[in-house]
């Protein structure tokens, strides 16, 4: 393959990448507008903690406002809330009958007379109202949520009763218990407007958390629209496992979200992969064009005992994971009092708001609507065409591929890609991202090996600068391609996500071996070269480097993806915290501890000791860093600016650690030549044989 032909391929590749700017810009603009972070507290949980701490909830709320919290998430009042406050009595029919008989006030005959034509289940629930205002509230709310068949209302003994016939909710089975879960009854009664009035008057922004009702009457759905308008609600988060109105009447919530330009919060799962499934949520998101933003619930970090670890997890949620709604409940460290937990929660929220403000985020605005456009067929055809061109480039550098064969491959490839993208309209965005995550690190390391092989006579600094330019430049093209493939709001919000993590981490390592053999065995052939390697006794340096490579590979695989098998040490956690303080986003350890040090060590050692095996062993570390660099852009929920900042900070820190590595190698060389070589010479000179 002639050099000018490669030049043509490079020019065509760059032209196709420029054609992706439209899709790239879609994501860039969405991320630029998505800089607002809102922190919302769970009102119900803070009230409980304040009560247990014997503190006034108003004082607690004032402290939270001073800490920068502006939003409060309010859930609907439930029957159990009224029961816990002592406003009602809540019993099963069987419990109520027994209770009346035990206290010598057997009202059951009178009640039974009123219900003589009704079929009564002993597990049905009876609500006893003690006050006229409570009766009025229950009558208004229950009749909008239950049909006449499900709700029976009557009076006896100067008290009002509501008998609810609905399906009970099974409680979770206790851990290590053989008992069946106990069924419980609860019913949402709508939002307490007196509470909302008070919070609104105190300057709180209201986040509503509506949930599905247990009854069949859906008249209550109209209440939400009035509340949204009255309290200027901008954000709602679904409470529970179903969207109100599911399954036949989702149109009510869908229309409300669309008409009022609401942001729908979707809750990230505890394993930080995807979002929590709620019935009807997917249908509403798709119908309304994904008017969503992601929610991080601090319940997901309750396993962490150190409040500083929890705080840094919040920072990572915003910076690394692109989450914009922080849903906060009080700390619940059982070694502390409720008062101390409340104080620590407030203090960390204050620090959290200061930190993310310093990092360029905004905390005093509502969440903005984002663009839900999806790139068209032509865009994805250009993405696929760029991957075809870079693959042809890779093949041209890898082997002496005939020009006619490359042209034939290009023609066939273009025809297939045009059919898949333009005619069939296949959704291959994730496959394109995976292809970019594999081919670009492989091409970058191949170009680096060729340069190392052919220009060993260059100065160290020149080789280092050129190598960094090759590796970082080519891998950034890979990151750009991934971003342009996974560009619409579904990927930003982690509704759809990159699924090829393990393949993208491991396959380039296999291609590294092919790259190496293609670069360093072209003259003698692969088989003779491998045979010579097997017959050769490895040097001590080679053995030491192989051991380091094995350890690095173990850490690399164990720490990759969502099924990490290697834990994070406390020292690494502290280092992360330091790096997160210094940079917008901390650099990846695979780059700063493996990739860049291996690169600098390889250039230094190969110039002094041109052993080809060095390229394979240390090249493994360089490849790990390259893969990690591109993989940063595969985390699509992370903003492009953050991934780019991480790459640049990784370059700075990695070069610094690489310099320290070179100093260590230099000192080891001095020790080796000053003490070890003379000692070995004395032994070979006759002490052991003479």
Shared domain check, 393 and 276: no
Q: Which residue has the tokens 């690095």?
A: 552
Question: What is d(CA 191, CA 72) in angstroms, rounded to the nearest whole number?
Answer: 13
Shared domain check, 246 and 130: no
Shared domain check, 228 and 341: yes
Q: Which of 86-90, 200-204, 579-583 has the lowest mean pLDDT?
A: 579-583
Chain segment 589-634, per-residue pLDDT in tens: 889 988 999 999 999 999 988 888 888 889 989 999 999 999 999 8
**Residues contacting residue 584 through CB under 8 Å, at least 6 positions apart:** 319, 359, 360, 641, 642, 645, 646, 649
Q: Are the C-beta atoms of 237 and 73 separated by less than 8 Å?
A: yes
Average pLDDT over residues 646-665: 94
pLDDT value at 521 more than 90: no
Short-list 594, 609, 600, 450, CA closest to 516:
450
Measured N-to-C along each axis, helices 460-485 and 640-671 cross at an angle, to the nearest 10 degrees, of: 150
Chain segment 49-66, per-residue pLDDT in tens: 999 999 999 999 999 999
Shared domain check, 518 and 423: yes
Task: Residue 298: give its domain's CATH number.
Answer: 3.20.20
φ, ψ dihedrals at 476, nearest 5°: -70, -35
Question: What is d(CA 599, CA 261) in angstroms, rounded to the nearest whole number?
Answer: 51
Confidence (pLDDT) at 690: 34
Name the domain boundary from 304, 330, 358: 358
Name the domain boundary from 358, 383, 416: 358
- Percent helix, strand, coil in the chain, to 5, is 60, 10, 30
Confidence (pLDDT) at 367: 92
pLDDT value at 579 more than 90: no
Into how many domains does the chain fold? 3
In a domain, 267, yes or no: yes
Question: What is d(CA 483, CA 435) in angstroms, rounded to the nearest whole number?
Answer: 12
Dihedral sign computed on CA atoms, order 469, 474, 479, 483: positive
Shared domain check, 508 and 429: yes
Confidence (pLDDT) at 563: 47
* 162 SS3 class: strand
In a domain, 363, yes or no: no
Provide the CB-side half-sphere exposure for 540 (13 A, CA).
6
* Containing structural domain, residue 251: 35-76+192-358
Give the pair of three-digit tokens for residue 407: 């042209």
In a domain, 597, yes or no: yes
Q: Are the C-beta atoms of 165 and 54 separated by less than 8 Å?
A: no
In a domain, 686, yes or no: no
φ, ψ dihedrals at 152, nearest 5°: -120, 130
Shared domain check, 311 and 243: yes
C-alpha separations of 630 from 449, 472, 626, 654 in Å? 19, 9, 6, 16
pLDDT value at 526 more than 90: no
Share of the chain above pLDDT 70, in %: 87
Which of 101-110, 146-155, 248-257, 464-473 is modeled with the greatest confidence? Answer: 464-473
Can you give the length of the chain in residues? 690
For residue 464, the tally of other CB atoms under 10 A from its CB is: 17
Question: What is d(CA 26, CA 640) in angstroms, rounded to the nearest whole number?
Answer: 12
Shared domain check, 485 and 578: yes
Shared domain check, 428 and 575: yes
Shared domain check, 64 and 84: no
Shared domain check, 445 and 339: no
pTM, rounded to two decimals: 0.85
In a domain, 180, yes or no: no
Give the pair of three-digit tokens for residue 82: 């009224």
In a domain, 186, yes or no: no
Shared domain check, 211 and 71: yes
Give the pair of three-digit tokens for residue 100: 């009346």
Task: Name the pLDDT band for 1 (thresholds 50, 70, 90).
Answer: very low
Shared domain check, 301 and 269: yes
Short-list 303, 301, 364, CA closest to 327:
301
Name the domain boundary from 290, 325, 358: 358
In a domain, 687, yes or no: no
Dihedral sign computed on CA atoms, order 684, 685, 687, 690: positive
In a domain, 181, yes or no: no
Q: Are the C-beta atoms of 88 and 126 separated by less than 8 Å?
A: no
Q: Which of 343-357, 372-386, 401-415, 513-527 has the lowest mean pLDDT?
A: 513-527
Chain segment 161-193, per-residue pLDDT in tens: 999 988 777 665 555 555 666 677 888 999 999
Task: Name the pLDDT band for 96 (thresholds 50, 70, 90).
Answer: confident
């Amino acid at each position: 393959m002639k050099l000018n032909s490669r030049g043509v391929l490079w020019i065509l590749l760059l032209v196709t990448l420029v054609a992706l700017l439209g899709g790239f810009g879609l994501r860039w603009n969405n991320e630029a507008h998505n800089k607002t972070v809102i922190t919302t507290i769970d009102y119900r949980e803070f009230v409980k903690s304040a009560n247990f701490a014997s503190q006034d909830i108003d004082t607690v709320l004032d402290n939270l406002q001073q800490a920068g919290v502006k939003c409060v998430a309010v859930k609907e009042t439930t029957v159990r809330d009224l029961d816990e406050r002592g406003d009602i009595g809540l019993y099963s029919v069987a419990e109520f009958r027994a209770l009346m008989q035990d206290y010598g006030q057997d009202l059951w005959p009178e009640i039974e007379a009123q219900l003589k034509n009704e079929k009564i289940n002993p597990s049905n629930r009876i609500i006893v109202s003690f006050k006229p205002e409570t009766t009025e509230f229950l009558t208004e709310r229950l009749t909008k949520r239950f049909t006449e068949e499900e709700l029976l209302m009557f009076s006896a003994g100067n008290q009002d009763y509501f008998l609810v016939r609905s399906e009970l909710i099974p409680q979770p089975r206790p851990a290590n218990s053989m008992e069946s879960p106990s069924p419980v009854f609860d019913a949402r009664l709508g939002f307490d407007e007196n509470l909302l009035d008070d919070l609104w008057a105190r300057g709180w922004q209201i986040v509503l958390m509506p949930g599905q009702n247990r009854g069949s009457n859906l008249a209550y759905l109209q209440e939400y629209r009035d509340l949204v308008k009255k309290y200027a609600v901008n954000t709602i988060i679904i409470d529970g496992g179903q969207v109100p109105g599911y399954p036949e009447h989702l149109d009510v919530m869908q229309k409300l979200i669309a008409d009022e330009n609401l942001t729908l919060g979707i809750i990230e799962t505890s394993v930080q992969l995807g979002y929590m499934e709620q019935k009807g949520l997917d249908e509403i998101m798709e119908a309304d064009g994904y008017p969503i933003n992601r929610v991080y619930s601090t319940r997901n970090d309750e396993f962490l005992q150190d409040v500083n670890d929890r705080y840094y997890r919040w920072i990572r949620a915003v910076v690394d994971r692109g989450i914009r709604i922080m849903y906060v409940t009080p700390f619940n460290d059982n070694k502390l009092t409720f008062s101390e937990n409340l104080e620590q929660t407030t203090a960390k929220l204050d620090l959290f708001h200061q930190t993310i403000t310093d990092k360029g985020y905004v905390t005093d605005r509502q969440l903005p609507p984002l663009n839900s456009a999806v790139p068209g067929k032509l865009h994805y055809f250009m993405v696929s065409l760029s991957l075809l061109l870079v693959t042809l480039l890779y093949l041209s550098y890898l082997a002496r591929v005939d020009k006619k064969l490359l042209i034939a491959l290009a023609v066939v490839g273009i025809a297939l890609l045009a059919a898949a993208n333009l005619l069939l309209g296949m959704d291959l965005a994730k496959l394109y991202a995976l292809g970019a995550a594999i081919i670009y690190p492989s091409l970058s390391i191949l170009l680096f090996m060729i340069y190392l092989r052919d220009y060993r006579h260059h100065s160290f600094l020149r080789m280092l600068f050129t190598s960094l330019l090759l590796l970082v430049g080519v891998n950034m093209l890979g990151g750009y391609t991934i971003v342009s493939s996974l560009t619409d709001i579904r990927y930003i919000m982690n509704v759809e996500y990159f699924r090829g993590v393990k393949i993208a981490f491991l396959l380039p390592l296999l291609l590294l071996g092919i790259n190496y053999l293609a670069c360093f065995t072209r003259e003698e052939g692969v088989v003779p070269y491998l045979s010579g390697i097997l017959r050769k006794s490895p040097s001590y340096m080679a053995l030491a480097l192989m051991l380091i490579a094995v350890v690095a590979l173990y850490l690399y695989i164990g720490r990759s993806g969502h099924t990490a098998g290697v834990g994070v040490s406390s020292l690494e956690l502290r280092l992360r915290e330091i790096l997160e303080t210094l940079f917008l986003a901390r650099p990846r350890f695979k780059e700063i501890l493996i990739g860049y040090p291996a690169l600098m060590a390889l250039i230094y050692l190969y110039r002094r000791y041109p052993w080809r095996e060095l390229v394979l062993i240390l090249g493994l570390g360089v490849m790990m860093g390259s893969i990690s660099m591109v993989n940063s852009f595969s985390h699509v929920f992370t903003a492009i600016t953050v991934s780019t900042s991480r790459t640049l900070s990784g370059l700075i820190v990695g070069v610094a650690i690489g310099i320290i590595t070179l100093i260590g190698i230099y000192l080891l060389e001095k020790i080796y030549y000053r003490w070890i070589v003379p000692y070995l010479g004395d032994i070979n000179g006759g002490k052991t044989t003479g």
